[in-house]
Structure 1
Amino acid sequence: MKLFSLLLGLVAFCAAATTTRAAALHQGWQEVDGLHLFYREAGNPADPTVVFLHGNPLSSIMYVQVMENLVAHQRLHVIAVDYPSFGYSDAPSHEAYRYTFDHVAQTVADFLKARGISRYSLYMQDYGVPVGFRLISANPQAIAAIIVQNGVIHLDGFPSAQDPKGELRRHWTTRNPALDQRRAGYARSMTYPQASGWEDEDHAGPDATLLMIAAIQRPGVIEARNDLWFDYGTNVQHYPAWQAALRKMKVPVLVLWGKRDQFFTMPGAFAYLRDAPQAEVHILDSTHFATLDMPDEVAELVGGFLSKHHAALLPTQVGDK
């Protein structure tokens, strides 16, 4: 508990420092279905909205610099939300909240409704992709543009899931308690960033890493996250339907990919061209968390893409509700 208290104190300090530097963003908690979801937001809601869906195991902090850059140079409304148990959002127990991708996506949909957001572009990374494609499938008319970064709807870029008899696929069919225990042990062993003995292979940086550790080491969170990881197998089952939905949409698509990602590999980026031949694909000399590793480059690419398609992104387009 002493370590946890220390982590929370350090995270609060980092958050205060970030707020001082990042005046363009404001933060808050939105009550949704009895939960308090933390979000970061900037810009005028009357302008085109970009919804940022974060990956695992981070939170909306991974988008701060990109969001600030975008609103500094364009008329945009940007918003990012932490899923339940991630970042600063509430972390109900897995008995009180069903940690499935269907449920998380519904919670995000309810969050967007509560914030009055009905037409938007999606920036999705890692876990954000299966959450986002559930939103797309439920209401494709709401989507103005799609931006994907290191997240898959094809097995091409997911080597650890390609073998139907491999550990992951078997776990998603019949839950393996030993895998749950291994993940729990790893989460509990994580220590805050420090001068010696700390490695940052994905270049997430100390602030995002500290918040991630503080969030995942809250009571009951690792059990919740294990439930969500077990449910990840449902995403693989949805891949053909999501690919078909993407083929029908014909919206602007941007794919960004950190080529040094060892989990979601580069073939996953080019696989999107099969379903969205209009997509722009950019391979970055970066990691799984490219928005933290090279935020200026990501913002430049995203900003150029959004500027090019600005007219199609306006809230007054057909399909707005």
Structure 2
Amino acid sequence: MYRLLFGLAMALSFLSPATWAASLHEGWQQVDGLELFYREAGDPHAPTVVFLHGNPLSSIMYAQVMEELAASQSVHVIAMDYPSFGYSDAPDHIRYRYTFDHLAETVSHFLKLRGIARYALYMQDYGVPVGFRLISANPRAITAIMVQNGVIHLDGFPAAQDPDGELRRHWQHRNPAVDARRTAYIRALAYPQAAHWSDEDHAGADATLQMIAAFQRPGVIDARNDLWFDYGNNVARYPAWQASLRSLHVPVLVLWGRQDQFFTTPGAEAYRRDAPQAEVHILDSTHFATLDAPDQVAALVGDFLRRHRDELH
């Protein structure tokens, strides 16, 4: 045993500091009485990129991309799991208000506790309304904006375009039938296995299993239904967020999986209206492009960060 441990220690001693920095480390940060899980890599003194995950996954969707970025350049990357997502605590919806305002407040407190005051944002799905609240609250903190399959325009959100459609009506007057349908779907989610396995979005078995385990914890279904009901408040803020984007004048990168049927490619092109400097890449991928095509995403993000390095400080 001693020889094994000694050999391991000697092998690790030959790893360069860059290798250590590129390896993700994980932990929990206490925020407002909750233990929130996070993944982090790179030099904390280097320019920071904060990754905000979408629904229904967690920071697991960014792990490979973060690791590749930290290995290829001097950058600090960090991603947290929101309350009830991933490995973070899942307080019930009586103890914790599941609104996007509250999620953004929690993320803001997390960043403050981690000593992060200036950063670039990478946002996907639910991460976009969380991130744009951070942008609106403190635009000077933002060095760059990266968006992947997440909208601030109705162009890319077909299900919400009809003001008399089910979604918009639900957001105006909560429909118990919508909650019940979502609840039944979540309860029916089963352990990934060979029989009846379907992975249309190419999230993969590991991320899917973690998502199911997080979803089916006590109280989480109610929490997620509350959050979906609150999504209507995001749509109402789209014009204000578009105005914020027009006023920022920071580098903007938009990546989009064209196979996404929920947030469609017109949503990617719409960002050019408010940010003519936006670089838009339509990928032959899914809603979860960071899991389906992590090398491609990491290469595009890495190139973007290198070209705008002076603006990230």
Q: Give the root-mean-square deviation of aligned CA atoms.
A: 0.8
Q: Which residue of 1 aligns with 2:224?
A: 225
Q: What is the identity, as a one-letter code, of the residue corresponding to 1:294?
A: A
Structure 1: runs of 5+ lacking an equivalent: 1-21, 315-321
SS class of match (1:107): helix
Q: Which residue of 2 aligns with 1:145?
A: 144
1:207-256 deviation digits (Å, cap 9, x = unpaired): 00000000000000010000000000000000000000000000000000
Relative to structure 1, is the Cα distance of residues 44 and 23 closer, same or farther in structure 2, using a 3 angstrom cutoff? closer
Q: What is the identity, as a one-letter code, of the residue corresponding to 1:43?
A: G
Q: Which residue of 1 aligns with 2:70?
A: 71
In structure 2, C-alpha distance between the alignment counterparts of 1:309 and 1:300, rounded to whole Å: 14
Within 5 A, what are the aligned runs for 1:184-203? 184-203=183-202
Q: What is the identity, as a one-letter code, of the residue corresponding to 2:37?
A: F
SS class of match (1:277): coil
Q: Which residue of 2 aligns with 1:135?
A: 134
Q: Please state if 1:304 is matched with 2:303.
A: yes
Q: What is the identity, as a one-letter code, of the residue corresponding to 1:188?
A: R
Q: Please state if 1:287 is matched with 2:286.
A: yes
Q: Which residue of 2 aligns with 1:56?
A: 55
In structure 2, C-alpha distance between the alignment counterparts of 1:98 and 1:159, rounded to whole Å: 28
1:196 deviates by 1.3
Q: Which residue of 2 aligns with 1:160?
A: 159
Structure 2: runs of 5+ lacking an equivalent: 1-20
SS class of match (1:85): coil
Q: Which residue of 2 aligns with 1:238?
A: 237
Q: Which residue of 2 aligns with 1:17?
A: none
- Whether the 8 Å contact between 2:22 and 2:70 is mirrored in structure 1 is no
- How many residues are paired up? 293
Q: Please state if 1:179 is matched with 2:185.
A: no
In structure 2, C-alpha distance between the alignment counterparts of 1:277 and 1:96, rounded to whole Å: 43
Identity %: 77
- Whether the 8 Å contact between 2:119 and 2:144 is mirrored in structure 1 is yes
1:36 deviates by 0.5
1:198 deviates by 1.1
Q: What is the identity, as a one-letter code, of the residue corresponding to 1:71?
A: A
Q: Which residue of 2 aligns with 1:16?
A: none
Q: Which residue of 2 aligns with 1:272?
A: 271
Relative to structure 1, is the Cα distance of residues 23 and 44 closer, same or farther in structure 2, using a 3 angstrom cutoff? closer
In structure 2, C-alpha distance between the alignment counterparts of 1:85 and 1:23, rounded to whole Å: 28
Q: Which residue of 2 aligns with 1:169?
A: 168
1:192 deviates by 1.3
Q: What is the identity, as a one-letter code, of the residue corresponding to 1:226?
A: N
In structure 1, C-alpha distance between the alignment counterparts of 2:73 and 2:108, rounded to whole Å: 26
Runs of 4+ aligned residues of structure 1 deviating over 2 Å after TM superposition are: none
SS class of match (1:52): strand
1:155-186 deviation digits (Å, cap 9, x = unpaired): 00000000000000000000000100000000
In structure 2, C-alpha distance between the alignment counterparts of 1:267 and 1:114, rounded to whole Å: 37
In structure 1, C-alpha distance between the alignment counterparts of 2:146 and 2:206, rounded to whole Å: 25
TM-score of the two chains, using structure 2 as the length reference:
0.93
1:23 deviates by 7.2
Q: Please state if 1:93 is matched with 2:92.
A: yes
Q: What is the identity, as a one-letter code, of the residue corresponding to 1:61?
A: I
Q: Which residue of 2 aligns with 1:32?
A: 31
Q: What is the identity, as a one-letter code, of the residue corresponding to 2:202?
A: H
